[in-house]
Structure formats: structure tokens, C-alpha cells
């Protein structure tokens, strides 16, 4: 009772920021959910929906009727509405839009257009509600237009300026408009545009544009520079978090999709398994290599003691180089057209670290086992394995990128497995050559 | 000549966005740098400085006199000025501030205050130029005040509202101010505050606040809610990129510091080496374990063939669990007070994947070698090694966090090494027990 009283204090709920409301919703007992929702007006319920985490949102939508979803959608900005619709089954979307169509045919049409863009592109991020005005207008006309957009004005920090052909040419900051004398020509308040994006640009590139130009709002335009919509920085902040998650999960051979499955270990295990199986097969190949060199191993059993350290070191330097190239691509630091430089650089680093680590392990094994030839084998193999591993690590993301595969997967099981195999091969070949 | 003409087209340079200017500067021949700078006015030069990447910025500042630096600093917002100063040697900072003091004693004082905050905190991110007004004022007074701040107005999308004791109580959006009738009370235009941060809050937490509330500007206040400054979202976008880089580099046992060293392989190698040495020592321990079990290995040389696959699989599932917990901490998804849930969850996933992979490898080895006991050893060892590895992977970031160490390092060489050692130990103990 104490909890339900606290959770369901209507006045407190209504004054809360939707993000905090979402937190309360997620953390309270599910049996209180419908009671909680009933105490909110439609606008607050719609805002809550946007701020819920993907798993809770999906659960809530499953329990909501098509008519109700249509009403909630009507409260949202087009980008948020499209996001919510994007999470629904296709036939539910069709029915929701049919309902919307009866009240707001134009809005339903806009949403249909927005849903055509993939979620992870500029088109998928943008909202179509844009405050735009002709260059020939005046500050007074701009303020009148703003008043007409009253409802959407909450998130408008700029007015976009277009020429007589409706082409985007610049922006006017709200502060400038607030300070402008009546009847000031818009052209005099405008700053010329310095960037715009097409709707098919990838969201990672969009985030990069925001980071580069320190902007809070970005125009999305068609090939003729006509305004299609705008992207606001708060969505980009979300994108960056999503991308960082996505990359991190891929790097360890999983997928951010597992965030949808909360506490279901089997479902999550299935997402992580495919790369593990690749790894398993790779491990089998490594074993096969050792099997082939069984005679060498039986002759000098001490060789076995260095198998793990050689594979581990190769795996590590390989992951380092892969990660550096992946982050370079993600942030735009590395120009995909000039990857030769970076591969050469990582190769040099690999040679340097390989020389050092190979020297250390070689010397240590001579001291430990008192066998200079064995020390030479281990040292040379370590040096060669590490040098090759850095090259493989640096090249893998480049190759994946060319093939249209997310380079992030290169940092994970793939490179480790490839380096295990080459490491063992190098080690066994060195041993066979030097010990026979 | 062609290049220098293109690069040094003064009109083009002056109309460029500073971010594009920085790109031109970084990419053109260094011999043209001073000529290029001479064609820009002081404001543009200062903006260029802010947009250069860390390495080029440092180089440029090394060639700039204290007096010139002081003049450039004077052109910048306090947060950018503090960032530039933060990259300089301490005695240069003192001299630059002495020069600034003569012209603008108050500004120099503000900068000294800002420099006291660590770079990666809210205090280190904020700027002290804040447009604030009393609740008792009117829209007309607010616009007058804005006019006085004309210089700083470029980046102001909100006016902060304070009560009679100078405590922060809410914000007014520029659009609302632009639409307000003259003499409208500020109290009527204001939205009540729903979030503020203290200056000692970590930048990762600041980014989380921005992402959670979809805001573009955040008030930094003291313990009495008095305004100290504000953080703008563009800096947060940069922070998020930095943090993602920092995490990624740590995860592979390096440090984002290496971005400062461009193409210097030895310098970079030295940054990556410490963890490699830990790895090397760990690898030695693994070797020592194999050495201890030499008798078992000589008796059944086929055991050797499965050493790499067992260490590789343990390493991988361990990194997966570690990465999931690290990202959970970074995004705030995992509550540090309730880590038991997540360790249990990862443990369950590990048991599931271990059962599957152990079963596969056990069956495969029976088919391959026709020795059921060996198959049992390999399968059981793989199952146990993977289950333990997920637990170690999930626990490591938790322990590092408690110790005040960045949990990101847990995904790298540390967990892999720990899992190599436990994996081999489990494998050899299983083999000794079942084969004798």
C-alpha cells in the first residue's frame, strides 16, 4: 500500500519529467501500471512511451489497442511517432495509420513517408515539423509564423530560411529574432548554411556532422536542397549511445539486440553463440595444427608450455590494432581512402612490440629451461606471431568495411581466432625448422 | 603553387566554418601554416584553435607566443579557453593569465576558477557566461539584458531564471521570449527546473543526464542551487565521443593518449606494452601450469590439441560478459547497487553456452580421436572453463569499479589472462582426474 500510494500520487506524477516518469513506471510493480497510466493525460502517456526502454515499451504496446496507439501517436512529434511505429508489427502499423488517417490525413501521409527511411539514416532520425520562412520575409512575419506553430515551438531554436524556390539557404537563431526590431528583413538576421545532409546518410555520419560543427539542429534536404525535415541534437545523443553499444556488443561477437531480452539467458545465449561457434571451429583448426605437429611436440614436450602465451599475445595485439582502426572509422579520424598509412603504422608498432616481447620470452625461456635453441624458437615465433597479428588486426576492419560488413566485428572472436591459427602455425613451423 | 593558391584563398577561408578551416589547416603543407593564419582575423584564429585535433593544436601552441595565446584566449568562451589552457604547460598558463589579467581581470579570475575543476567533470565542461534573470523581471527587461550580452548571445537558447536569493529555479526558451508580449512577467514564461548538476559530477554522468532528459543546455550549480555556469550539448557530444574512445582503447589494454602521438610507433608501442607485459606474465603462468602437468600431457599427447580451443572459448565468453557489464555501467543500465542480478544472469548464460559448446567439442573429439574418455575430459573441461569465465568476466568490472579503477580495462588483457590460467587449470585437473 505504501508503495502504491507513493507511486500513484497524481500531482507528483503530472509534474514529473517524462524521463523520470518512465523510471518510476519501469521500477514499480507491473500490477500498478494500468492504474498509473490512468492518472496521466494523453500527452503525458505519449511522452512516457517515448522515454521507456525498448523492452518495457514493447510490453506496454502489446497491451494497448490500435485506437489508443493511434491517439498516442497523434500527440508525438513525427520522429518519435515513427520510432514508436517502427517497433510495431507491420500489420499493426497499417491499422494504426488507417485510424490516424481519419483524423489527420496529412500527418498519416508524413508518417508513411518517414517510415520508408531505414531507422539508422538521417531520414529515419528526422522530424518533418520544421519552422521555415522565405528569405524575403521580415522578423514580424517570422514571429507571426512562429505563433501559428505554437504547439511545435517548444523544440525550435532556429528558423530555417529558404529562397523563392524553397531551397534551404540558412538559419536564424531564436535569440536574434527575439532581439530584432519589427520589420527587420530576415536576410539580415540569417546566417548562411554551412552544412545539410541527404536522408540516406548513415546515422553515424550524422552524429559526426553534429560533433564536427558543434550544432544543435541539422537540416535534411533532397538533391535540390529542398527541406525534408530536421534532426535535433537530442536524438543524436541517443544515436551516439546506441552506436557505442552496438559497436561494443559486436566487438565481443554479440549484438545489442540482446538488450531486448532482459533476463532471458537462453535467448541471449543464442545471440552470442554464432560467433562462438566460429571460434569453436577455429579452435578445432588450431588443434588440428598441433595434431599435425605431434611428432615435434612429443620430441620436445616443453614446446607445449609456450602455446598459450603465443596465442594470447597474438590475440591481444591483434585486438588492439583492430580496435584502433574501428574507432578511427567510427569517429572519422581514419580516411577509408588512405588506410595504407594506418596499416603500415600498426605494422611498425607490431614489429616493435614483437621484438621486445619476443626478446623477453626468448630470454626467459632460456633461463627457465636452459635450452638456447628452444629459447630461440620461442622468441622468433613470438616475434613473428605478434607482427603478423597486428597486420591482420589492422587489415580485418578495412576488409570488412569494403565488404559492407560492420568493421566492429573485426575486434572480436574473428581476429582472435585468425590469430590463434596463424600464431600456432608460425610457432610449429619455427620449431620444426630450428629443432630438426 | 596550385595548392597554395587554393589553400590561401582569403575570401574562401574567411567564410568557412571553423571546423572546415581546421580540416584545411591539418591537411595542407605545414609550410603554409603561418601564411594561412596571417589571413585570418583573431576571432577566426581562435575558433580554428578550438577545432584542431589535439596533436595539431599542441604543435601550433608550441609555436605561439604567450602574448598571442592570451589574445586568442580572449576571443573564446570560457569553457573553450579553459580547454586550450588545460593543454599547456603549467608555467605557460600562469604567464598567459598574467597577460589576460591586465586587460580583463575578471575574466582571468573566472578562468583560474574553471581550471581548478578536473577536465572530466561538470565544472571542467561548463562555461561561466550564463544569461540569467530574476523571476520578478519582465520579458522586456529580459530582451534588454540579452542585448547587453550581444557578444555571447550566439549560443544562448535559454535564459536561466533565478529567485531573489540568486537560486536557480527554471528556464525560459528563446522562442517563448520572442513570442511574448512586452512586459510579460518572466514567471509566466518560465518552465520549472527539473535537473541541475554540481560541478564535481563526472562527465560520463553529465552525458547521461543530457541523454535522459533530451536537453540542450544544463545548469551547473553549487550546494545552494546558485548558478556557477552552464554546459551546452555540443560539448557533451564531444565528451561522448571521447568516452567511447577512452573505453575502447582501455578495453584492449591501451589508452586514448596514443591519439596524441600520431605516427610515432615507438611512443605508441610503449603505451600498449604495460598490459601486454601483464599478459606475458600471465601466459608464463599458463605455461608453468602445462609444465606441471607434463606427465599427463606426455601420456596422452592428444590433450595438447585442445589447449588452444579451451583457452580461446573461455577468453571469448569472459570478454562478452565483461563488455556487457562495462556498457551497462557506462550507460547507467546497470545499477551498481544491484550487481548480483547481472552476475547471476551472466552466470546462467555461461552455463547454457558452456553446456552447448562443451557438448559439441566433446562429441567432436570422440568422433575425431575415437577415445570416449578423452571426449569426456574435453567436454567437461570446456563446460567448466566457460562457466567460470563468464562469472570472472561479469565480476571483474564490478570489482574494478569498487576499487575505483575504470571498469573498461576488465574487457581487455586482464580477463583474457585470468581466464587462460583458470581454463588450463580446469582442463589439466579434469584430465588428471579422469585419465588416471
Residue A253: the pLDDT is 82
Grid coordinates representing B225 are: 542551487
Pairing mode of beta strands B168-173, B191-192: antiparallel
* pLDDT-based confidence at residue B154 (cuts at 50, 70, 90): low
CB atoms within 10 A of CB A160: 22
The beta-carbon neighbor of A301 closest among B276, B294, B307 is: B294
Cα B356 to chain centroid, rounded: 37
- Smallest CA–CA distance from A189 into chain B, residue: B154
Provide, as residue numbers in chain A, all residues whose Cβ is less than 8 Å from the Cβ of B298.
298, 301
Interface test with A, best of B177, B304, B363, B385 (most A CBs within 10 A): B304
Provide, as residue numbers in chain A, all residues whose Cβ is less than 8 Å from the Cβ of B341.
263
Cα B4 to chain centroid, rounded: 37
The beta-carbon neighbor of A279 closest among B211, B273, B316 is: B316
DSSP character at residue A181: P
Query: Contact at 8 Å (CB) between A195 and A153?
Result: no
Give yes or no for residue A276 having a pLDDT over 60: yes
Contact A249 B327 (CB under 8 A): yes
Nearest Cα to Cα of residue A331 among B235, B244, B264, B56: B244
Residue A287, C-beta contacts closer than 8 angstroms, at least 6 positions apart: B305, B306, B307, B308, B309
Contact A317 B212 (CB under 8 A): no
Q: What is the mean pLDDT of residues B174-202?
A: 93
The beta-carbon neighbor of A313 closest among B19, B146, B276 is: B276
Q: Which CATH number fits domain B256-435: 1.10.357.20, 2.102.10.10, 3.30.420.40, 1.10.287.3610?
A: 1.10.357.20
Helices (H) and strands (E) in chain B, counts: 22, 6
Instruction: Identify the residue whose cell numbers are 572472436.
Output: A413
> How many angstroms separate the CA atoms of B312 and B316, rounded?
6
> How many angstroms separate the CA atoms of A172 and A80, rounded?
25
Q: How far is CA A323 from CA A157, A241, A308, B84, B362, in A?
A: 38, 18, 22, 28, 33
Grid coordinates representing B381 are: 573441461
ipTM: 0.82
Query: Contact at 8 Å (CB) between A308 and A283?
Result: no
* pLDDT-based confidence at residue B214 (cuts at 50, 70, 90): confident
> How many angstroms separate the CA atoms of B28 and B21, rounded?
11
pLDDT tens-digit profile of B317-348? 998 899 889 888 888 888 888 888 888 889 99
Give yes or no for residue A298 having a pLDDT over 90: no
Give yes or no for residue B96 having a pLDDT over 80: yes
> How many angstroms separate the CA atoms of B227 and B219, rounded?
7
pLDDT tens-digit profile of B80-93? 999 899 888 889 99
Give yes or no for residue A324 having a pLDDT over 70: yes
Q: In degrees, to the nearest 5, what angle opens at C-alpha A252 toward C-alphas A247 and A255?
A: 60
> How many angstroms separate the CA atoms of B391 and B397, rounded?
11
Matching CATH topology for B132-233 and B256-435?
no
Q: Report domain extents, chain A.
A: 2-119, 132-232, 256-435
Give yes or no for residue B2 having a pLDDT over 70: no
Grid coordinates representing A68 are: 489508443
Instruction: Identify the residue whose cell numbers are 533530451.
Output: B214
Contact A247 B251 (CB under 8 A): no
Residue B59, C-beta contacts closer than 8 angstroms, at least 6 positions apart: none
Contact A279 B248 (CB under 8 A): no
Highest-confidence segment of A33-37, A58-62, A167-171 = A167-171
Residue A36, C-beta contacts closer than 8 angstroms, at least 6 positions apart: A7, A8, A13, A24, A25, A28
Residues 388-427 of A with CB under 8 A from B: 411-413, 416-417, 420, 424
φ, ψ (nearest 5 deg) of residue B252: -105, 20
Contact A241 B211 (CB under 8 A): yes
Average pLDDT, chain A: 88
Pairing mode of beta strands B191-192, B217-221: unpaired
Q: What is the mean pLDDT of residues A105-129?
A: 92
Residue B390: the pLDDT is 93
Give yes or no for residue A5 having a pLDDT over 60: no
User: Which superfamily, per CATH, for B2-115?
Assistant: MgtE N-terminal domain-like (1.25.60.10)
The beta-carbon neighbor of B174 closest among A20, A175, A323 is: A175
Crossing angle of helices B42-51 and B18-27, rounded to 10°: 70
Give yes or no for residue A2 having a pLDDT over 60: no
> How many angstroms separate the CA atoms of B362 and B376, rounded?
6
Q: Is A254 on the interface with B (CB under 8 A)?
A: yes
Grid coordinates representing A179 are: 532581439
pLDDT tens-digit profile of A187-214? 999 999 999 999 999 998 999 899 889 8
Nearest Cα to Cα of residue B95 among B76, B123, B67, B121: B67
Contact A280 B360 (CB under 8 A): yes
Q: What is the mean pLDDT of residues A346-370?
A: 91
CATH topology of domain A2-119: MgtE N-terminal fold (1.25.60)
Q: Which CATH architecture has domain A132-232?
A: Roll (3.10)
Q: What is the mean pLDDT of residues A363-386?
A: 92
Distance from CA of B237 to the nearest CA of A (A): 6
Cα B230 to chain centroid, rounded: 20
3-state secondary structure of B226: strand
Residue A241: the pLDDT is 85
pLDDT tens-digit profile of B235-292? 898 888 888 888 888 888 888 888 878 778 888 888 888 888 888 888 888 888 888 8
Nearest Cα to Cα of residue B147 among A180, A95, A409, A2: A180
Give yes or no for residue B195 having a pLDDT over 50: yes
Residue B152: the pLDDT is 61
Please state the three-class secondary structure of chain A as a single string: CHHHHHHCCHHHHHHCCHHHHHHHHHHCCHHHHHHHHHCCCHHHHHHHHHHCCHHHHHHHHHCCCHHHHHHHHHHCCHHHHHHHHHCCCHHHHHHHHHHHHHHCHHHHHHHHHHHHCCCCEHHHHCECCCCEEECCCEHHHHHHHHHHCCCCHHHCCEEEEECCCCEEEEEEEHHHHHHCCCCCEHHHHCEECCCCECCCCEHHHHHHHHHHHCCCEEEEECCCCEEEEEEEHHHHHHHHHHHHHHHHHHHCCCCHHHHHHCCCHHHHHHHHHHHHHHHHHHHHHHHHHHHHCHHHHHHCHHHHHHHHHHHHHHHHHHHHHHHHHHHHHHHCCCCHHHHHHHHHHHHHHHHHHHHHHHHHHHHHHHHHHCCHHHHHHHHHHHHHHHHHHHHHHHHHHHHHHHCCCCHHHHHCHHHHHHHHHHHHHHHHHHHHHHHC
Q: Is B160 exposed, middle or buried (0-12, 13-18, 19+ CB in 10 A)?
A: buried
Size of interface A-B (CB pairs under 8 A): 337
Grid coordinates representing B325 are: 557489464
DSSP codes, A382-406: HHHHHHHHHHHHHHHHHHHHHTTS-
> How many angstroms separate the CA atoms of B13 and B31, rounded?
17
Residue B153: the pLDDT is 52
Helices (H) and strands (E) in chain A, counts: 22, 6
Give yes or no for residue A1 having a pLDDT over 50: no
Residue B200: the pLDDT is 96
Grid coordinates representing B156 are: 544562448
Contact B240 A244 (CB under 8 A): yes
Residues 287-346 of A with CB under 8 A from B: 287-288, 290-291, 294, 297-298, 301-302, 304-313, 315-317, 319-320, 322-324, 326-327, 330-331, 333, 341, 345
Pairing mode of beta strands B132-134, B158-162: parallel
Please state the three-class secondary structure of chain B as a single string: CHHHHHHCCHHHHHHCCHHHHHHHHHHCCHHHHHHHHHCCCHHHHHHHHHHCCHHHHHHHHHCCCHHHHHHHHHHCCHHHHHHHHHCCCHHHHHHHHHHHHHHCHHHHHHHHHHHHCCCCEHHHHCECCCCEEECCCEHHHHHHHHHHCCCCHHHCCEEEEECCCCEEEEEEEHHHHHHCCCCCEHHHHCEECCCCECCCCEHHHHHHHHHHHCCCEEEEECCCCEEEEEEEHHHHHHHHHHHHHHHHHHHCCCCHHHHHHCCCHHHHHHHHHHHHHHHHHHHHHHHHHHHHCHHHHHHCHHHHHHHHHHHHHHHHHHHHHHHHHHHHHHHCCCCHHHHHHHHHHHHHHHHHHHHHHHHHHHHHHHHHHCCHHHHHHHHHHHHHHHHHHHHHHHHHHHHHHHCCCCHHHHHCHHHHHHHHHHHHHHHHHHHHHHHC
Nearest Cα to Cα of residue A96 among A130, A72, A128: A72
User: Which superfamily, per CATH, for B132-233?
Assistant: CBS-domain (3.10.580.10)
Grid coordinates representing B221 are: 550549480
* pLDDT-based confidence at residue B383 (cuts at 50, 70, 90): very high
* pLDDT-based confidence at residue B1 (cuts at 50, 70, 90): very low
Amino acid at each position: 500500500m505504501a508503495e502504491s500510494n507513493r507511486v500513484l500520487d497524481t500531482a507528483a506524477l503530472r509534474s514529473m519529467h517524462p524521463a523520470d516518469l518512465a523510471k518510476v513506471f519501469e521500477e514499480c510493480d507491473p500490477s500498478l501500471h494500468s492504474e498509473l497510466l490512468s492518472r496521466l493525460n494523453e500527452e503525458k502517456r505519449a511522452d512516457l512511451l517515448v522515454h521507456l526502454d525498448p523492452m518495457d515499451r514493447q510490453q506496454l504496446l502489446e497491451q494497448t489497442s490500435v485506437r489508443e496507439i493511434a491517439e498516442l501517436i497523434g500527440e508525438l512529434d513525427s520522429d518519435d511517432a515513427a520510432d514508436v511505429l517502427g517497433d510495431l508489427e507491420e500489420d499493426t502499423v497499417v491499422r494504426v495509420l488507417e485510424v490516424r488517417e481519419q483524423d489527420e490525413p496529412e500527418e498519416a501521409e508524413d508518417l508513411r513517408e518517414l517510415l520508408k527511411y531505414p531507422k539508422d539514416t538521417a531520414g529515419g532520425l528526422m522530424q518533418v515539423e520544421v519552422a521555415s520562412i522565405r528569405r524575403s520575409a521580415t522578423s514580424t512575419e517570422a514571429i507571426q509564423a512562429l505563433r501559428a506553430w505554437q504547439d511545435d515551438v517548444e523544440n525550435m531554436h532556429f528558423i530555417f530560411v529558404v529562397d523563392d524556390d524553397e531551397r534551404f539557404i540558412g538559419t536564424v537563431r531564436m535569440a536574434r529574432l527575439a532581439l530584432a526590431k519589427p520589420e527587420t528583413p530576415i536576410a539580415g538576421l540569417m546566417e548562411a548554411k554551412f552544412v545539410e545532409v541527404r536522408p540516406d546518410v548513415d546515422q553515424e555520419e550524422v552524429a559526426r556532422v553534429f560533433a564536427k560543427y558543434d550544432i544543435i539542429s541539422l537540416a535534411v534536404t533532397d538533391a535540390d536542397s529542398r527541406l525534408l525535415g530536421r534532426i535535433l541534437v537530442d536524438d543524436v545523443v541517443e544515436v551516439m549511445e546506441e552506436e557505442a553499444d552496438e559497436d561494443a556488443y559486436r566487438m565481443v561477437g554479440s549484438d545489442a539486440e540482446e538488450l531486448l531480452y532482459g533476463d532471458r539467458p537462453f535467448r541471449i545465449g543464442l545471440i552470442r553463440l554464432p560467433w562462438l561457434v566460429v571460434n569453436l571451429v577455429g579452435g578445432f583448426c588450431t588443434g588440428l595444427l598441433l595434431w599435425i605437429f605431434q611428432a615435434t611436440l612429443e620430441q620436445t614436450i616443453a614446446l607445449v608450455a609456450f602455446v598459450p602465451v603465443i596465442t594470447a599475445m597474438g590475440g591481444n595485439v591483434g585486438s588492439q590494432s583492430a580496435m584502433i582502426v574501428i574507432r578511427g572509422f567510427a569517429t572519422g579520424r581514419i580516411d577509408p581512402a588512405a588506410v595504407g598509412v594506418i596499416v603500415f603504422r600498426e605494422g611498425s608498432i607490431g614489429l616493435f612490440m614483437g621484438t621486445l616481447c619476443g626478446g623477453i620470452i626468448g630470454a626467459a625461456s632460456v633461463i627457465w629451461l636452459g635450452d638456447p635453441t628452444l629459447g630461440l624458437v620461442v622468441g622468433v615465433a613470438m616475434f613473428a606471431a605478434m607482427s603478423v597479428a597486428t597486420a591482420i588486426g589492422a587489415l580485418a576492419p578495412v576488409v570488412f568495411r569494403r565488404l559492407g560488413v560492420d568493421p566492429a566485428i573485426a575486434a572480436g572472436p574473428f581476429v582472435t581466432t585468425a590469430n590463434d591459427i596463424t600464431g600456432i602455425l608460425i610457432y610449429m613451423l619455427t620449431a620444426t625448422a630450428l629443432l630438426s
